[in-house]
Structure 1
């Protein structure tokens, strides 16, 4: 009996510790520990890193974090002017980087036929690729039953198939060179359902399935996979989000809110995750982080809690306000 009581007490303390830490941290416990005691981002100095979606948001801020660490960068997105601005800022972040160390390479990820040519350009420029960061993507706000099937296809084309296409090129290269790292900017929607984002959840769940399978397939080949799962982040993603209608954008600006992690902070934590080759990390402020842990660790209680809190409360955590339109 005493043994069972001890086991029960230790289990209770274990989960209590998680709840306490989730109330004060802005990321999962392992990532928080690695930020203090793990490898610093500066350990990535000299690595060749290709970032998609680098013209704004988390991708832009990650470029600054890695530039400061001394990485050589390839910055890709569709908007050339914005990429050039990011490059200038990268060079300002680290005076030891030269103009040749930061390459702007415009890329439309939906044009899958252009991926191999873009990959060859990277290899011709730097002779190798160490880390591919799949950051580009779009979110969604829509009622599940109203979503046109075309939207699901468009979501998967951008958030899944373009990522797979580029990543498979990278993995083939890594198998030849003997090592490399794939980074996926996913979402907590990749392992938990989130409200009013059916297509987005489906796409992010797919990414986890694909890349966790990659980990299993090549666990002995020195190919590392880091899946980053942000919760609410302070970026301008909302206006560009998919809705339930093909060709339509959500069109509502993202509110500034204290319950969201800044893009700068998210990028810093991503840098730590990359440097320490963590498999999966969660990034969110305490309000969202507590809910994530509850839903992940106690799914039955989580189901009841979600029903009790209601959709309006969950949307407020996610977007800082309850929208008045789709």
Structure 2
């Protein structure tokens, strides 16, 4: 991912060479850039590239008339994204297991005034039933005659101690978070390649970029998902196949209520509390990243966003800093709860 932070630093360095010994101008440039970071960018809730594109790039409305299929669209980010795209006049297909919830989402989309009833296709689908994928894809093409963008958003999270997680939990989570998405994407990719263009938008996570304690199976699934699509990106360079990987941090949703734990069949059944980005704000930035075909974006409030930058560019600082951060603090950053460690099955005395 091209990072404008380092582009700007490079420009400062270039100006340094051009201005020679004009120390006064160099100092002014440096102060101006640091002021930009401190007072304009640092309050942001996304990476610098996405921050700039939201202000200067293609608006979400540029997607008007496109056909977008969203999986995992019955709640959370998927639901909010469907509503935001509908507002922009995008024709959408929405999939999840609950027909009742999908119909509620459809009505919300229609209520935006950006689409008509026929512009929102409710397509119930259990992503783990691979034999249903081809029929679901055929239904989208039959209804709209085409597909422009697939949003691979279905998934669940997980909490538990690394050494206590049952292997069946890993298998179940990978079955949904990775293999089901790849199965559907492979069907769609053949269509995109034959069509000569297409766009995959993939919901990863900040956990797809760095390790998150007490969520080993979830973290690994997001790393695997990114690995699959990064391979596709390189393999199909020059085929007009766009891939946008979106890495949200803590976002308002009911994801934790249905979270896997250490044992198969158990669920956390508690919601996140505390500071989180709204699903609507995350969906808007998600839509901006799609409209501008950005390769990878980070969407998170501070201090998670800063931690992402440090981990990406200064991993030694993160390794050093983790020695002094209690596990309870890291867990609270993610879940916003004082009891987040206990939810994961770990008592405070083990910290």
Residues 26-59 of structure 1 show CA distances to partners (whole Å, capped at 9, x for unaligned) of 0000000000000000000000000011111000
| Superposition deviation, residue 98 in structure 1 | 2.0
Tell whether 2:105 aligns with 1:80.
no
How many residues align? The count is: 320
Alpha-carbon RMSD = 2.2
Asked whether the equivalents of residues 22 and 286 of structure 1 are also in contact (C-alpha less than 8 Å), the reply is no
Instruction: Give the aligned partner of residue 255 of structure 2.
Output: 237
Distance 2:70 2:31 in 1: 41
Instruction: Give the aligned partner of residue 62 of structure 2.
Output: 43
Instruction: Give the aligned partner of residue 148 of structure 2.
Output: 130
| Superposition deviation, residue 94 in structure 1 | 2.0
Higher deviation after alignment, 119-128 or 271-280: 119-128
Instruction: Give the aligned partner of residue 293 of structure 2.
Output: 277
* Among 33, 44, 55, the residue aligned to 2:74: 55
- SS in structure 1 at match of 2:293: coil
* Aligned positions of 1:199-210 closer than 5 A: 199-210=217-228
Gapped runs of 5+ residues in structure 1?
A: none
Distance 1:243 1:264 in 2: 27
- SS in structure 1 at match of 2:70: strand
Asked whether the equivalents of residues 76 and 106 of structure 1 are also in contact (C-alpha less than 8 Å), the reply is yes
Stretches (4+) displaced over 6 A: 12-15
Over 3 Å counting, the alpha-carbon distance change for 1:227 and 1:317 in structure 2 is same
TM-score w.r.t. the length of structure 2 is 0.87
Gapped runs of 5+ residues in structure 2?
A: 1-12, 18-25, 346-351
* Aligned positions of 1:152-191 closer than 5 A: 152-191=170-209
TM-score w.r.t. the length of structure 1 is 0.93
Asked whether the equivalents of residues 165 and 263 of structure 2 are also in contact (C-alpha less than 8 Å), the reply is yes
Instruction: Give the aligned partner of residue 194 of structure 1.
Output: 212
Higher RCO structure (Cα 8 Å, ≥6 apart): 1
Distance 1:18 1:122 in 2: 45
| Superposition deviation, residue 147 in structure 1 | 0.5
| Superposition deviation, residue 16 in structure 1 | 5.7
Over 3 Å counting, the alpha-carbon distance change for 1:17 and 1:29 in structure 2 is farther
Distance 1:113 1:17 in 2: 55
* Among 283, 286, 291, the residue aligned to 2:307: 291
